[in-house]
Structure formats: C-alpha cells, structure tokens
C-alpha cells in the first residue's frame, strides 16, 4: 500500500484530469499499454476494479494497493506524458506538475510509509490506531505540528494496545516513557535480555536502548512544537521534513513492537 495522503491524491487527480472518470486522454487500450510499458503492470487486472471499472477508479485503486516505489514511478511517467499534451502550460499547471513530481520523488525515496502500521490496525481491529495513522498521513505535509503530536500519541496507543492484548494493562494515566518501558519489558526487549554470548550483543543492546528513547524524544518534541500545548503568538513551528522524521521514527518503533508482539504472543 502506498503512503499517498489525501492532499497528494487531490493534486494528482486534478493534474491527471480524473474528475469525470477519465485519465488525461487515455482510452482503455492506451492506458493499459502505457502502464504496462512504464511499470510492467496490468491496470485492468481484477484487483484494481474493486471500486469501479472507470480508468480513474482503477488508477485510484492502484495508488491504494501498490507500493510507494511503483506508485511513484508511474506518477513520474504520467507527469512526463502530460507535459507532451500540454505544451504551453500556464503558471498553475506548471506549479501542479512540480508538486506531482515532488510527490513521486518522495515516494521513490521511501518517505515515512505507514502501510505496515495500517495492516496491524486491521488485524487488531484498532479503530483509534487507524484514525491516528490517517491523521498523520494527511497532516505530515500540511500540518507538521499535528503530525508531530499524533506521532507521540501513536506510540502511546501502540503500547496500550499491546499490553492490553497480553493482559497487562496499566491503570491510571501513565506517560509515554512508562508505557514504552513496560512494553519493552513485556516483550523481553530490554537490553538486559540479550545474553552477552550472543553475536553482536553489544550492538543489539545499544539499538534496543536507543529504541526505548524514541517515545521520550517524541514527547519532548511535542511539548516544544506539536499540538496539545499553547504557544507564544509569534512562535514558529517545524517544517514538513521534521514532521516526517517524527512520524518515521514513531512508525518504525510501532511496527517493530507490533511485529514482536505478534511473533511472541
């Protein structure tokens, strides 16, 4: 599943003229040929028809189902193709094309992908977790402060979900540091749990020790720049790249904890 946000999709749909179910000037035959040559995929495959059979609906489903790499590669090819149709673009069209290229480049570069987290949310039937993932995806480029605040909350939800599933819920209102520590202990991921005789024990212990500090770091970042605290009227927030760092760190920790929970439960 790609990490395209809602705002990404709006930009792409407008640039590729998908409002009425069409995609640029493609016919069913030519879009099939184009996608096949660009990324060796059949856009008319049954799996892309789950939301409808128009060209636009199949492309939207492709964006939803496929990896960041494939989606990014196809977007770049389509932006280049659109440029051959619109030889005298106005300023708005040029700006939109650049935004599309930026989106594709981010996907190809492997920005923070939340697809693995989405799968865990489905398996756990965790609606609150799914909502946090959706909020981060939407906000990471448009509202960095919200994305940073939600990244910290994601770690809390992740830890509470795992501890509850294992029959070890923590009462009261524990902070993210306590939740992370208890989850690492329950999953036997504390550095002391690695035998000294194990190959690479020192490296593993350092990595696990650093892993435990992600929650604390996100909490501090949220206090400084995220949502949830009143700020000075002249204060400036962080940029999208900082939000991506926060979201990427939170997603990496959460996926690791969920996968460990799944394998050892």
Give per-residue pLDDT as tens, 93-112: 999 999 999 898 888 765 55
With respect to residue 57, please indicate whether it lies within any of the assigned structural domains. Answer: yes
CA-based R_g, the chain, Å: 21
The larger pLDDT score, comparing residue 132 to residue 19, is at: 19
CA angle, residues 203, 205, 209, in degrees to nearest 5: 120
Average pLDDT of span 221-247: 67
Q: Is the pTM of this model over 0.85?
A: no
Last residue of a domain, one of 108, 132, 163: 108
Is the sign of the CA dihedral 153, 190, 161, 129 positive or negative?
positive
Which of 105, 118, 100 has the alpha carbon at shortest distance from 1?
A: 118
The predicted pLDDT at position 76 comes to 92
Q: Are residues 79 and 138 in the same domain?
A: no
With respect to residue 122, please indicate whether it lies within any of the assigned structural domains. Answer: yes
Q: Are residues 53 and 135 in the same domain?
A: no
pLDDT band at 17 (very low <50, low <70, confident <90, very high): very high
The larger pLDDT score, comparing residue 194 to residue 222, is at: 222
With respect to residue 260, please indicate whether it lies within any of the assigned structural domains. Answer: yes
| Token pair of 42 as six digits | 């059949």
Q: Are residues 47 and 71 in the same domain?
A: yes
The predicted pLDDT at position 240 comes to 74
Longest dimension (CA), the chain: 67
With respect to residue 1, please indicate whether it lies within any of the assigned structural domains. Answer: no
Average pLDDT of span 204-224: 78
Q: Are residues 156 and 210 in the same domain?
A: yes
Q: Are residues 250 and 134 in the same domain?
A: yes
The predicted pLDDT at position 216 comes to 82
- Yes or no: say if 11 and 96 are a contact pair by the CB < 8 Å rule: yes
* pLDDT for 245 beyond 80: yes
* pLDDT for 209 beyond 90: no
With respect to residue 226, please indicate whether it lies within any of the assigned structural domains. Answer: yes
**Share of the chain residues as helix, strand and coil, in percent rounded to the nearest 5:** 70, 0, 30
Tell me the C-alpha distance between 166 and 189, whole Å.
Answer: 15
Question: What string of H, E and C letters represents the secondary structure of 190-216?
Answer: CHHHCCCCCCCHHHHHHHHHHHCCHHH
Tell me the C-alpha distance between 69 and 239, whole Å.
Answer: 24
Tell me the C-alpha distance between 105 and 7, whole Å.
Answer: 16
pLDDT band at 196 (very low <50, low <70, confident <90, very high): low
Q: Are residues 100 and 165 in the same domain?
A: no
| Token pair of 144 as six digits | 């960095």
Tell me the C-alpha distance between 239 and 114, whole Å.
Answer: 19
The predicted pLDDT at position 264 comes to 84
Lowest-confidence range among 135-149, 195-209, 220-234? Answer: 220-234
Q: Are residues 100 and 120 in the same domain?
A: no
Q: Are residues 87 and 133 in the same domain?
A: no
* pLDDT for 29 beyond 90: yes
With respect to residue 39, please indicate whether it lies within any of the assigned structural domains. Answer: yes
Last residue of a domain, one of 61, 83, 108: 108
pLDDT band at 60 (very low <50, low <70, confident <90, very high): very high
Q: Are residues 42 and 86 in the same domain?
A: yes
Is the sign of the CA dihedral 54, 55, 56, 57 positive or negative?
positive
Give the CATH number for residue 186: 1.20.120
The predicted pLDDT at position 199 comes to 65
The rounded percent of the chain whose pLDDT value lies above 90 is: 35
The larger pLDDT score, comparing residue 155 to residue 43, is at: 43
pLDDT band at 194 (very low <50, low <70, confident <90, very high): low
Tell me the C-alpha distance between 134 and 116, whole Å.
Answer: 13
Which of 220, 189, 187 has the alpha carbon at shortest distance from 207?
A: 189
Average pLDDT of span 168-180: 87
Q: Are residues 148 and 249 in the same domain?
A: yes
* pLDDT for 195 beyond 70: no
Average pLDDT of span 22-47: 96
Tell me the C-alpha distance between 114 and 135, whole Å.
Answer: 11
Q: Are residues 251 and 155 in the same domain?
A: yes
The rounded percent of the chain whose pLDDT value lies above 70 is: 84
Q: Are residues 53 and 132 in the same domain?
A: no
With respect to residue 242, please indicate whether it lies within any of the assigned structural domains. Answer: yes
The per-residue pLDDT for range 146-170, each reduced to its tens digit, is 888 888 888 898 899 899 999 998 8
The predicted pLDDT at position 222 comes to 74
The predicted pLDDT at position 9 comes to 94
Last residue of a domain, one of 108, 141, 167: 108
Which of 162, 170, 164, 157 has the alpha carbon at shortest distance from 129?
A: 157
| Token pair of 243 as six digits | 């939000």
With respect to residue 64, please indicate whether it lies within any of the assigned structural domains. Answer: yes
Expressed as residue numbers, the domain containing 224 is 115-264
- Yes or no: say if 163 and 186 are a contact pair by the CB < 8 Å rule: yes
How many domains is the chain built from? 2
What DSSP state is assigned to residue 171?
A: P
């Amino acid at each position: 599943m790609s990490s395209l946000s809602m705002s990404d999709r709006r930009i792409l749909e407008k640039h590729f003229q998908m409002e009425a179910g069409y995609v640029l000037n493609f016919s069913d035959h030519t879009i099939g040929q184009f996608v096949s040559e660009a990324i060796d995929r059949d856009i008319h495959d049954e799996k892309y028809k789950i939301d409808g059979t128009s060209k636009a609906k199949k492309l939207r489903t492709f964006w939803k189902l496929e990896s960041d790499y494939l989606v990014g590669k196809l977007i770049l090819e389509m932006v280049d193709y659109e440029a051959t149709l619109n030889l005298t673009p106005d300023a708005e069209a040029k700006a939109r094309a650049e935004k599309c290229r930026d989106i594709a480049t981010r996907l190809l570069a492997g920005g923070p992908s939340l697809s693995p987290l989405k799968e865990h949310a489905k398996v756990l039937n965790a609606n609150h977790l799914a909502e946090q993932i959706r909020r981060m995806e939407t906000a990471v480029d448009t509202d960095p402060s919200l994305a940073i605040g939600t990244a910290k909350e994601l770690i809390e939800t992740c830890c509470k979900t795992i501890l509850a599933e294992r029959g070890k819920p923590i009462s009261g209102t524990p902070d993210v540091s306590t939740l992370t520590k208890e989850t690492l202990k329950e999953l036997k991921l504390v550095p002391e749990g690695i035998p000294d005789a194990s190959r690479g024990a020192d490296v593993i212990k350092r990595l696990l020790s650093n892993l435990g500090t992600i929650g604390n770091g996100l909490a501090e970042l949220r206090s400084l720049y995220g949502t949830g605290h009143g700020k000075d009227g002249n204060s400036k927030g962080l940029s999208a790249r900082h939000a991506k760092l926060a979201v990427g760190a939170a997603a990496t920790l959460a996926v690791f904890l969920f996968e460990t929970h799944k394998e050892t439960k």
